[in-house]
Chain A
């Protein structure tokens, strides 16, 4: 393999255009390196970790803008948005959080990713760049399937932008098998508004469908309702139905069906003190 370290975004884009699929974008390395022996040994590792322009984290003008190189540790300690900070704080171990990046979490597109559902609930829009230009994609449209994204061979994720959820009620909840370094068994992120009744609630979940995504049927049950146990239970039941519709009945369904419902209720309670 070859190693190419770039220090600017134009350099990175030029290299990616030239290398295409054989250019493996490398920032934190936490997903790439364990796989490296199985990859095409003629590839080039394109190290973008030193591109300072991709490490921004800004909150201004009603927007939050996150550079792809922001690490989970940095996001967890930031005041960008609680739901994102909580999600980032739940990733792996302290060492993984120090190395792994938000951009990596998005582009790796594991169904069990932790920060991704929080970004989905926040309505994040991705800025994708190539040497030829740029485009914006809603994160849900970017995630095509397990470990599959819309990223083309000559493109690099250059930024993540979302509305600052200030004033919103939010919550993130992750179920793992142990209390640290856990792959999500299921995770949930909620962003919504409450002025007497529930308004514009986004409910996203990971590890329950091929990609992290919002659940419109669940959100529809909540819209305009007064928060409370009954409506959250109904939302939970809807989540289970949607989960089965999206992923089919599998070996894990007898467990996931009741648990997804319970945790949906719980994350809604967490957000709205229901």
Chain B
């Protein structure tokens, strides 16, 4: 076991983790925040996407020990003071169907808009190209993100 300290949605966290434990596992099962989803655990579906130090990453491939000293944002951190504009836009544009890809999708979109507030449509599609959606065909999701830029 190793000790890891990091910032989680703006709050400091210190926990014990096993070497092979992923950030996804730690979020869902150690800290108990289930907003981040497990779809494949091999980094192919994007459902586990969170933001670490401003970049969208796959928490299923992110070993927990590596998060030491870093800043992590998850979907739960977005609605502290009411809905984040992305969350509202996803609802308005019917970009939420089954909802399973939604947290990861929103985090990828947030990482994009934080770095690039006025992305082109192409940049939006690239930003979510690592997030699989089986329900909506991506069109409403791109519409929602475009609405917020």
Query: CB atoms of A and B under 8 A apart anywhere in the complex?
Result: yes
Closest to B56 in A: A95
A180 to B66, CA, bound (A): 27
Closest to B64 in A: A3
Residues B43 and A95 in contact, CB atoms below 8 Å apart: yes
Kindly provide the distance from the CB of A105 to the nearest chain B CB, expressed in whole angstroms.
15
Kindly provide the distance from the CB of B123 to the nearest chain A CB, expressed in whole angstroms.
10
Does B42 sit at the interface, judged by CB under 8 A? yes
Does B127 sit at the interface, judged by CB under 8 A? yes
Q: Which of B44, B63, B129 contacts A45 (CB 8 A)?
A: B63
A168 to B148, CA, bound (A): 41
Residues A94 and B129 in contact, CB atoms below 8 Å apart: yes
Residue of A26, A47, A95, A96 most packed against chain B (CB within 10 A): A95
Q: Which of A3, A34, A45, A94 contacts B130 (CB 8 A)?
A: A94
Closest to B22 in A: A33
A residues 10-45 in Cβ contact with B at 8 Å = 26, 28-30, 33-34, 36-37, 44-45
A residues 39-82 in Cβ contact with B at 8 Å = 44-45, 47, 49-50, 73
Q: Which of B49, B66, B108, B129 contacts A181 (CB 8 A)?
A: B129
Does A2 sit at the interface, judged by CB under 8 A? yes
Does B18 sit at the interface, judged by CB under 8 A? yes
A44 to B18, CA, bound (A): 11
Hey, which bits of chain B sit against chain A, CB under 8 A? 2, 17-20, 22, 41-44, 46, 49, 55-58, 60-63, 65-66, 68-69, 108, 111, 126-127, 129-131
Q: List 21 A-B contacts (CB under 8 A).
A: A1-B18, A3-B18, A5-B65, A5-B68, A26-B63, A33-B43, A33-B60, A33-B62, A33-B63, A45-B19, A45-B63, A50-B68, A73-B55, A93-B130, A94-B108, A94-B126, A95-B43, A95-B46, A95-B130, A99-B57, A181-B129
Given A3-B17, A29-B66, A34-B41, 8 more pairs with CB closer than 8 A:
A1-B18, A1-B20, A28-B61, A29-B61, A94-B130, A95-B108, A96-B58, A181-B129
